[in-house]
Amino acid sequence: MTYLDHNAVTPARPEAIAAAERALRAFGNPSSIHAAGREARDLLDRAREQASRALGVAPRDLVFTSGATESAALAVRGALLAAPEGRTGLVVTSVEHPCVLDLARELARAGTPVQVVPVDGDGVVDLEVLRAAVTEETALVCCMLANNETGVLQPVREASALARAAGARLLCDAVQGVGKVPVDVPGLGADLVALTAQKFGGVRGAGALWIAPGVRLAPLLGGHQERGRRAGTENLPGIAALGAGLEAAVAALPVEAPRVRALRDRLERGLLGAVPGARVNGWGAPRLPGTLSVTFPGADGEALLVALDLEGICASAGAACTSGTATPSHVLSAMGLSPAEARGTLRLSLGWPSAPADVDHALRVLPPLVERVRAALR
């Protein structure tokens, strides 16, 4: 099998699997004071230290969650609930992950003032429009670090400065960036940073939210865990894998990122040279090393995915959480692609286990498949 869907889930790293196995044998509750509980607490503390060291933050400021969706919900709802009187507004970019945009729509229906800021043709947020959108009534701005569909990197530091100047907080969804590019979390200038383990080599079901010192955040559930900010018995195996996986991913970055980028670039060049009319989305902006969003005009992405699967290649048409829907990608639509162009787009994402053979297989199989699908649709 050739796996080209690492932006959805990347395989767990050996260090993460070993850590999860150790945690599975530690059956005590980390909140218990007996020996079994202390053993579990030690593993929890170790994971927090590993993750915080990899991110360059203090352990006390890192809150473990079930993943990015929960981290985003805690950040957005918690920031709005804790905002000073008169600050009720929410500002989001048009290319945020569905877990943020769907929540924003839900809050808008309930009366929260929500503004959506556009992006340019490469998928980069328009900072001048963002500047105008953030006012003295804005409580929170949401600006992701790297787009999950195109890999385009956003100017988070500049967006954070705009939010801070207006007295608003900023949430950065760093899910796709952490472990793939160097990320200085405090240096982003954000107040809240979300991440999830399965994107960098942890296991599914564990994530984290960094809360900058001094930032008030109302908890969504009552309880004492995570310093009273996220209640519920901790998912110790998932958290242990998160800490070990993140530590391993960050340590490997100097070698891994250039290697993955070279594979992505070779795949990109090969497809552009072999498929007439193929276009890369976000080509003019900085992108993640392993993400390639490519449009094949006249083809159908879903048909291509089925054909690729039969050839042993796993890929996607966009965000995994929206696969199977008839609605074109909101990210590609925001970048100016037509519905037909968006439906003819594939996301091919490489990761830490990717090898030259994966690129060879894709370049051998995909170009003739595109021509077959195009011919069938003429």
Q: Name the E strands within 197-256.
A: 207-211
Domain boundary among 248, 271, 300: 248
Residues, the chain, total? 378
Number of domains composing the chain: 2
What integer pLDDT is reported at residue 47 of this predicted model? Answer: 98
86 and 221 inside one domain: yes
208 and 144 inside one domain: yes
Q: How far apart are the first and last CA of the chain?
A: 31
What is the span of the domain harbouring residue 234? 14-248
67 and 178 inside one domain: yes
177 and 274 inside one domain: no
What integer pLDDT is reported at residue 319 of this predicted model? Answer: 54
What integer pLDDT is reported at residue 324 of this predicted model? Answer: 52
65 — alpha (psi -120 to 50), left (phi > 0) or beta? beta
236 and 267 inside one domain: no
Q: Compute the distance between CA of residue 154 and CA of residue 16 in angstroms, rounded to an integer.
A: 29
**Tens digits of residue pLDDT in 46-74:** 999 999 999 999 999 999 999 999 999 99
| Tokens found for residue 202 | 């942890």
**Tens digits of residue pLDDT in 220-250:** 888 889 988 999 999 999 999 999 999 999 9
68 and 116 inside one domain: yes
**What is the pLDDT averaged over residues 252-261?**
98
99 and 202 inside one domain: yes
User: What CA–CA distances, in Å, run from 324 to 3, 142, 319, 336?
Assistant: 19, 26, 10, 22
Share of the chain above pLDDT 70, in %: 98
116 and 204 inside one domain: yes
Closest CA to 73 of 48, 97, 44, 47: 97
Calculate the CA dihedral of residues 317, 320, 325, 327 and round it to 10 degrees.
-60
Domain boundary among 224, 248, 272: 248
How does strand 291-295 pair with strand 279-280? antiparallel
Amino acid residing at 220: L
Q: Which residue has the tokens 């021509």?
A: 371
Q: Compute the distance between CA of residue 279 and CA of residue 274 in angstroms, rounded to an integer.
A: 12
Q: Compute the distance between CA of residue 332 and CA of residue 60 in angstroms, rounded to an integer.
A: 38
**142 beta partners:** 92, 171
266 and 362 inside one domain: yes
The structure's pTM equals 0.95
CATH of the domain at 295: 3.90.1150.10
Q: Compute the distance between CA of residue 40 and CA of residue 184 in angstroms, rounded to an integer.
A: 29
Is residue 242 within 8 Å of 51, Cβ to Cβ? Answer: yes
**What is the pLDDT averaged over residues 329-345?**
97
Convert 23-45 to b/e letters by CB count within 10 Å (16 or more is b): beebebebeeeeeebebbbebbe
Is residue 217 within 8 Å of 211, Cβ to Cβ? Answer: yes
237 and 342 inside one domain: no
Domain boundary among 205, 227, 248: 248
Q: Compute the distance between CA of residue 311 and CA of residue 233 in angstroms, rounded to an integer.
A: 43
CATH of the domain at 229: 3.40.640.10
Cβ neighbours of residue 375 closer than 8 Å, sequence gap 6 or more: none
- In the chain, how long is the greatest CA-to-CA distance? 70
235 and 297 inside one domain: no
225 and 330 inside one domain: no
pLDDT band at 278 (very low <50, low <70, confident <90, very high): very high
- Catalytic sites, residue numbers: 321
**Tens digits of residue pLDDT in 132-188:** 999 999 999 999 999 999 999 999 999 999 999 999 999 999 999 999 999 999 999
Cβ neighbours of residue 304 closer than 8 Å, sequence gap 6 or more: 296, 315, 346, 366, 369, 370, 373
